[in-house]
């Protein structure tokens, strides 16, 4: 099976067990090498000491050679002088150790006798004689191989333990992922308010769950906004449709003269007009949301732009006998998309005319802010906007005074469009207004 098909739990377990087994193997091999070296070294020193003792006894007290086995425990040796055998122990002869005799001067070697015993054998040579000695290493060998057996059995045991422990641990460590997956499976568009469980917010899974939860919060907000937008849009669309229907129904109830019919058609056209503006605004915001309206940057002279927008709407101000004044004293330049900015300014100025009572005054001026940024201000002497509404006034369909705004034909989208138009030009809108003290909207744009 390819490792990609294994679960993370299985992969973690295998890695854990594999690495642990490797460590145990290396450790066991190290122990064996060390113990083996120590055994061989001990044996060689033992043979070396025996040879020194035999050499001394042979040269100083040759009669004592027989007593060496009983008194010093040196039971395996042989002495040759001028090619003739001078002395060999019984054990040496029994094990036939002469066959194992290494070349003189060579390091000691291990040799296996016919009786199955192993011996460590070494020889030294004088001018006319040679002495060879051996020690039985069988019991040490047995102990060593027993150790090999124990360690060899321990490795699979350790591997088994590592697999079981690793599987258990991986299960515990990964359990938050399972809980997150179970919860995530339950979350639908209707239950976006629910959140994934966060065990420990400091660990990796906790951070992952927190990031998912933040994403869910944003999705929740977007869904909520979308739902509100759809509900508000339907409501706004229904109002003019209902008005047209009732006007039409009343007109059909009884025959009317020509003038009355003209009035009916006129008021229906007014509603159609309102509908058209609403649909245009909705389309505008939808395009803005989808990113279809891409601003193009160029250097724009703001006083000229403000004058142009004011001239366009002057007829509305004149209708209400309002004084609309554009301060053309300064020359202010900004880098922005003139068409999009124009749309934003148009909405602000249109609002100023709409909400300022007849005979009021509206001032439009382009100027640099205290920090040197280009800006356009629209100031009116209208009813003002209470501070409580400032935070939400740029939201879609939000009206500070619903009754008054609806009467004036507003759907609560003008400031939302203005806000988008300015933000799309990397600028911001500031509002300074108090109830019954007029309003000042300031568009602040990036400079050149």
Please, which residue, 13 or 347, has the CB nearer to ligand ADP?
A: 347
Sign of the CA dihedral running 134, 136, 140, 141? positive
CB of residue 405 vs ligand ADP: minimum separation in angstroms?
Answer: 3
* Cβ neighbours of 4 (radius 10 Å): 6
Give the Å distances, CA to CA, from 281 to 175, 277, 387.
50, 6, 26
Segment near ligand ADP (CB under 6 A); pick from 157-165, 209-217, 319-327, 404-412: 404-412
Per the DSSP assignment, residues forming a β-bridge with 327 are 365
Q: Which stretch binds ligand ADP (CB under 6 A): 5-13, 48-56, 221-229, 406-414?
A: 406-414
Q: Is 377 in the site for ligand ADP (CB under 6 A)?
A: no
CB of 4: closest distance to ligand ADP in angstroms? 55
Check residue 393 for interaction with ligand ADP (CB under 6 A).
yes
Q: How many CB atoms lie within 10 A of CB 370?
A: 5
In the bound state with ligand ADP, the residue whose beta carbon lies nearer, of 136 and 401, is 401
Residue 441: in which H helix or E strand, if any? strand 439-444
Which residue stretch of 110-118, 203-211, 308-316, 381-389 sits at the interface with ligand ADP (rule: CB under 6 A)? 381-389
415 binds ligand ADP (CB under 6 A): yes
Please select the residue that binds ligand ADP; options are 305, 400, 424, 443, rule is CB under 6 A: 400
Nearer to ligand ADP, 338 or 438 (CB): 438
- 344 is an interface residue for ligand ADP by CB under 6 A: no
Q: How many residues does the chain have?
A: 448
Site stretch for ligand ADP (CB under 6 A), options 89-97, 167-175, 310-318, 396-404: 396-404
Q: What are the b/e assignments for 321-333, b being 16+ CB within 10 Å?
A: ebebebeeeeebb
Q: Smaller CB distance to ligand ADP: residue 122 or 433?
A: 433
Q: Find the shortest distance in angstroms from Cβ 387 to ligand ADP.
A: 13
CA distance 448 to 373: 9
DSSP helix/strand/coil, 398: coil
- CA–CA separation, 346 and 405 (whole Å): 17
Binding of ligand ADP at residue 405 (CB under 6 A)? yes
> How many residues contact ligand ADP, by CB under 6 A?
21
CB of 399 to ligand ADP, least distance (A): 3
| H helix or E strand, kind and range, residue 350 | helix 338-355
- Contact between 355 and ligand ADP per CB under 6 A: yes
Task: Using the rule CB under 6 A, give the single segment among 47-55, 73-81, 149-157, 413-421 that binds ligand ADP.
Answer: 413-421
Beta bridge partners of 439: 433
Residue 399 found at the interface with ligand ADP (CB under 6 A):
yes
How many other CB atoms sit within 10 Å of the CB of residue 135? 23
Question: Token match 């339950």: residue?
Answer: 186
CB of 428 to ligand ADP, least distance (A): 16
Binding to ligand ADP by residue 240, rule CB under 6 A? no
Least separation in angstroms between CB 422 and ligand ADP: 13
Give DSSP secondary structure letters for 109-143: EEEE-TTS-EEEEEEEE-SSEEEEEEEE-HHHHHH
Smallest separation, CB 416 to ligand ADP (Å): 6
Contact call for residue 379 and ligand ADP (CB under 6 A)? no
- Provide the terminal-to-terminal Cα distance of the chain, rounded to the nearest Å: 63
Q: Is 176 one of the binding residues for ligand ADP (CB under 6 A)?
A: no
- Spatial separation of the C-alpha atoms in residues 10 and 23, rounded to whole Å: 20
How far apart are CB 395 and ligand ADP at their closest, in Å? 8
Among 340, 341, 380, 427, binds ligand ADP (CB under 6 A): 380
According to the binding rule CB under 6 A, does residue 382 interact with ligand ADP? yes
Concatenating the DSSP letter of every residue in 84-115 gives EEEEE-HHHHHTTGGGGPPPTTSPPEEEE-TT
Question: Tokens at residue 362, please?
Answer: 């509206």
Question: Using the rule CB under 6 A, which residue among 21, 303, 351, 375 binds ligand ADP?
Answer: 351
Residue 89 interacts with ligand ADP (CB under 6 A): yes or no: no
Closest CA to 271 of 412, 417, 406: 406
Which residue lies nearer to ligand ADP by CB, 31 or 231? 231
Which one, 374 or 410, has the nearer CB to ligand ADP?
410
Q: What does the alpha-carbon distance between residue 150 and residue 133 come to, in Å, rounded to a whole number? A: 33
Measured distance CA(354)–CA(320) in Å, rounded: 9
Least distance (Å) between residue 336 CB and ligand ADP: 21
| Token pair recorded at residue 297 | 């940057």
Structural contact between residues 29 and 14, judged by C-beta atoms closer than 8 angstroms = no
**Residue 367 CB, nearest approach to ligand ADP (Å):** 19
The contact set with ligand ADP (CB under 6 A) reads 351-352, 355, 380, 382-383, 385, 393, 398-401, 405, 410-416, 439
């Amino acid at each position: 099976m390819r490792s990609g098909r294994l679960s993370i739990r299985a992969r973690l377990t295998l890695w854990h067990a594999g690495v642990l087994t490797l460590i145990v193997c290396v450790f066991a091999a190290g122990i064996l090498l060390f113990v083996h070296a120590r055994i061989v070294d001990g044996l060689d020193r033992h043979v070396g000491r025996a040879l020194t003792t035999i050499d001394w006894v042979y040269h100083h007290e040759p009669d004592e050679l027989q007593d060496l086995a009983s008194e010093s425990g040196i039971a395996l040796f042989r002495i040759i002088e001028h090619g003739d055998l001078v002395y060999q122990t019984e054990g040496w002869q029994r094990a036939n150790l002469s066959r194992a005799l290494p070349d003189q001067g060579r390091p000691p070697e291990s040799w296996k006798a016919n009786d199955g015993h192993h011996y460590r054998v070494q020889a030294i040579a004088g001018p006319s004689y040679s002495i060879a000695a051996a020690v039985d290493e069988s019991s040490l060998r047995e102990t060593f191989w027993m150790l090999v057996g124990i360690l060899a059995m321990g490795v699979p045991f350790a591997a088994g333990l590592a697999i079981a422990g690793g599987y258990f641990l991986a299960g515990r460590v990964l359990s938050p992922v399972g809980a997150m997956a179970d919860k995530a499976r339950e979350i639908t568009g209707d239950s976006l308010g629910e959140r994934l469980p966060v065990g420990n917010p400091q660990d990796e899974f906790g951070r992952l769950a927190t990031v998912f939860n933040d994403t869910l919060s944003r999705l929740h907000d977007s869904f909520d906004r979308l739902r509100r937008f759809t509900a508000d849009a339907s409501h706004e669309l229904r109002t003019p449709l209902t008005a047209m229907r009732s006007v039409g129904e009343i007109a059909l109830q009884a025959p009317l003269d020509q003038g009355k019919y003209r009035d009916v058609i006129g008021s229906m056209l007014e509603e159609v007009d309102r509908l058209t503006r609403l649909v245009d605004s909705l389309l505008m915001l939808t395009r803005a949301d989808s990113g279809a309206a891409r601003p193009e940057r160029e250097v724009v002279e703001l006083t000229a732009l403000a004058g142009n927008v004011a001239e366009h709407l002057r007829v509305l101000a004149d209708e209400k006998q309002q004084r609309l004044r554009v301060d053309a004293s300064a020359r202010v330049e900004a880098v922005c998309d003139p068409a999009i900015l124009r749309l934003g300014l148009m909405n602000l100025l249109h609002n100023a005319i709409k909400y300022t009572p007849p005979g009021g005054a509206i001032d439009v001026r382009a100027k640099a802010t205290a920090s040197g940024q280009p800006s356009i201000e629209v100031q009116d002497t209208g009813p003002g906007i209470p501070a409580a509404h400032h935070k939400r006034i740029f939201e879609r369909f939000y009206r500070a005074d619903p009754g008054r705004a609806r009467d004036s034909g507003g759907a609560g989208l003008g400031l939302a469009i203005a806000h988008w138009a300015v933000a799309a030009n990397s600028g911001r809108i500031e509002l300074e207004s108090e109830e019954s003290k007029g309003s000042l909207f300031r568009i602040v744009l990036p400079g050149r």
